[in-house]
Chain A
Amino acid sequence: MKAILEGSHAVAEAVRLVKPEVISAYPITPQTHIVERLAEMVADGALESEYICVDSEFSALSACLGASAAGSRVYSATSSQGLLFMAEVVFNVAGMRQPIVMSIANRAISAPLSIWNDQQDSLCLRDSGWIQLYAEDVQEAFDLHLLAYKVAEDHRILLPVFVCFDGFIISHTYEPVDIPEEKDVLAYLPPYVPFNKLDADDPLSMGMYATPEYYMEFRYEIDQAMGRALDVIKQAGKEFKEKFGRDYSELVEAYRLDDAEVAIVAMGSVCGTIKDAIDAMRAEGRKVGLLKIRVFRPFPAEDIKKALAGIKKVGVFEKNVSIGSRMKGAVGYEIKDALSDSSVQVLSYVAGLGGRDIRIEDIKKMTDAIEAGKGDCFFGLREELI
């Protein structure tokens, strides 16, 4: 069924279709419309979930952890400050291998307070052990939720997933969305089968502490599972294509890269703008393409290396800043590492922070800078304010 839905409501539809037994979330802009819509669904009986109106994001994810440990499929959503407030639980959930899926409507971090979009929130939790998926548009945001549960709950993986999409730009934008049939979603994502659970008939202890003799192996196992996720995500994406027609079998997506000399690397909604800018530049005869990263954790270094083979210059569009680092952006380092066998130049451009608008002209200017070899900087600053 095709419908025109606000991004948040599309995500809520996806959650309705995966039928979590427990939902626990706390309101924060720009995520709020998701949990409001879910609350309506529960109130109307359209969704049979326990909906816990918690006291904070910290409790939201803690309650999800408890429910997941008790054997239920669970869901939460947050943004920005909320994600940082739950950060301690974020690490804990991954360490305890609970396959929780959480939407992140990406938003800037205070101070100064900003409700607008960038990707600082999810990126600063890159080392937490959560799989991180980034959506470009509303349809992809919808689809990735189904995929996320399939990957998370796979007993080879058992890791939690952030499904990230840009706050307001996706969460509050209406777009046409293809909503699959309930039976098809069920065929793709069968009911949750926990690997183990809290159960009086079969007692076990969860979350025990580990001495130096044991701790490292637990962390190693998480990293191993993350590594396995590279293939499991591809398989889940392939199956998604077979079932629903949209192809998520690749972790990265190339746009007009084939004969390109310059590549822009980006994540999230800005990829749409970049594609338009590339079309415009291509019309002017410039050989530029885009590599969109859909999966940031696990980091698909091999796929990126393959996709960018033959490219001369790479610019990374960074909606985050790693303050004090040389390149300025966090993603650039990983791209540089993926391409470390080659002599290709990789430069970071910190742009669009705190919701600063990115237009086609900006992407053209960024391409000029990439070609000129000038980067590892903030891009689009208002010089008169500095």
Chain B
Amino acid sequence: MADRTLELVDSGHRACGGCGPAFAARLILKGAGERSIVCASTGCMEVFSTPYPQTAWKVPWIHSLFQNAAAVASGVEAALKRQGRDEHVLCICGDGATFDIGVLCISGAFERGHNITYICYDNEAYMNTGIQRSGATPFDASTTTSPAGKKSFGNSRPKKDMPQILAAHGAPYVATCSIAYPNDVIKKVERAVNTDGPCYIQIHTPCCTGWGFDGSKTIDIGKLAIETGLWVNYEIVNGKIEKAKKVKRKPVEEYLRVQKRFAHLFKPSVNTEEIAKIQAIADANAEKFGIDLKI
């Protein structure tokens, strides 16, 4: 049972006030515990937590490059196995590193069946480089490389389904969660690190800077994503979807309206056509995962 008082990511790091990923890092290590080795990708979390000569990490931590954390973790795991050691091997990487540039290394590590837990903190764009679109950016979100304009409503493609891609690799345990539900994050990480084989966890980590909301609202935004059905917390155990969190759904507008990345959908007037498309994404999620509470 995870020790929820354990703090293995120290305070004093350089994250923005209200940073979703910073909270995720704390929760992840509460779930994984002290006997963990973290392999990080280049990104916000790496930058805010390890400016030489300071580090926020109280567990062994390694950063090599942007796209190779899963391959580095493969090597760490192989070395531990040969040396007869027992540490959990984790990757903690952003969505750009996970959905886009690191897919080759992740796919290889999962196909080979390394005993690692790969965790993606998903803030839905390249935040470290200044809010550029990634494969995890949701439909119609305005980013610096998918800006809304006279002929654009922002990102024109839906979010890539990474959990399903990794489940298709035969991962024994795949889960999504949100920092808005901390106990759920801790429990899922704990389960993943105690499951043999490559496991994947994707954590929704609202980014106040990139999404455009006040840093005091991070948890509220995370909750709204769940409550509107635009983010679903679920588990895929041995390929089967289990335990999706049920909600009494709110209209997506409530989630969109409070973030600057979707502000263009409300100016100069409410763009009902585009919002309807986003509502359809939430409806499809609700249908697929069966999250609607029957009252």
Instruction: Name the contact of B57 in the complex, choosing from A53, A63, A205 (C-beta under 8 A).
Output: A205
Q: Does A210 contact B (CB under 8 A)?
A: yes
Instruction: Name the contact of B75 in the complex, choosing from A56, A74, A88 (C-beta under 8 A).
Output: A74
Q: Does A96 contact B (CB under 8 A)?
A: yes
Residues from chain B with Cβ under 8 Å of A205 in the complex: 50, 55, 57, 60-63
**A22-B78, A66-B79, A200-B34 known; A207+B64 contact, CB < 8 A:** yes
A70 touches B68 (CB 8 A): no
Q: Does B217 contact A (CB under 8 A)?
A: no
Contacting residues of chain A (60-75) with chain B, CB-CB under 8 angstroms? 60, 62-72, 74
Q: Does A383 contact B (CB under 8 A)?
A: no
A52 touches B75 (CB 8 A): yes
Digitize B73-86: 1 where CB-to-A-CB distance is under 8 Å, 0 elsewhere.
11111111111000
Q: Does B199 contact A (CB under 8 A)?
A: no
Q: Does B51 contact A (CB under 8 A)?
A: yes
Q: Does A59 contact B (CB under 8 A)?
A: yes
State the Cβ distance, B104 to closest chain A Cβ, in Å.
Answer: 6
Q: How far is the CA of A209 from the CA of B14 in the complex (A)?
A: 13
Q: How far is the CA of A200 from the CA of B107 in the complex (A)?
A: 27
**A56-B104, A70-B80, A214-B53 known; A65+B60 contact, CB < 8 A:** no
A64 touches B75 (CB 8 A): yes
Residues from chain A with Cβ under 8 Å of B73 in the complex: 66
A208 touches B55 (CB 8 A): yes
Instruction: Name the contact of B78 in the complex, choosing from A50, A58, A200, A214 (C-beta under 8 A).
Output: A50
Kindly count the residue-residue contacts between A and B in the assembled complex, taking CB atoms under 8 Å apart. 161
A68 touches B68 (CB 8 A): no
A92 touches B65 (CB 8 A): yes
- Stretch in B35-43, B117-125, B245-253, B285-293 touching the partner: B35-43
B107 touches A210 (CB 8 A): no
Q: How far is the CA of A54 from the CA of B63 in the complex (A)?
A: 19
Q: How far is the CA of A92 from the CA of B62 in the complex (A)?
A: 12
Q: Does A24 contact B (CB under 8 A)?
A: yes
Q: Does A259 contact B (CB under 8 A)?
A: no
The residue of chain A having its C-beta at the shortest distance from the C-beta of B63 within the complex is A207
Q: Does A179 contact B (CB under 8 A)?
A: no
A67 touches B79 (CB 8 A): yes
Q: Does B196 contact A (CB under 8 A)?
A: no
Residues from chain A with Cβ under 8 Å of B68 in the complex: 58-59, 62, 65, 89
Contacting residues of chain A (70-106) with chain B, CB-CB under 8 angstroms? 70-72, 74, 88-89, 92, 96
The residue of chain A having its C-beta at the shortest distance from the C-beta of B108 within the complex is A55
A-B contact pairs, 10 of them (CB 8 A): A22-B75, A66-B76, A67-B76, A67-B79, A89-B64, A96-B64, A199-B87, A203-B57, A207-B40, A207-B63
Of all A-B residue pairs in the complex, the 4 with the closest CB atoms, nearest first, are A66-B75, A55-B108, A62-B71, A63-B75
Q: Which residues of B approach A to under 8 Å, CB–CB?
A: 34-37, 39-40, 46-47, 50-53, 55, 57-65, 67-68, 71-83, 87, 104-105, 107-109, 111-112
A sample of 15 more A-B contacts (CB under 8 A), given A69-B76, A214-B52, is A60-B71, A62-B105, A63-B71, A66-B64, A66-B76, A66-B79, A67-B75, A67-B79, A69-B72, A72-B79, A72-B82, A200-B34, A200-B37, A200-B60, A205-B62
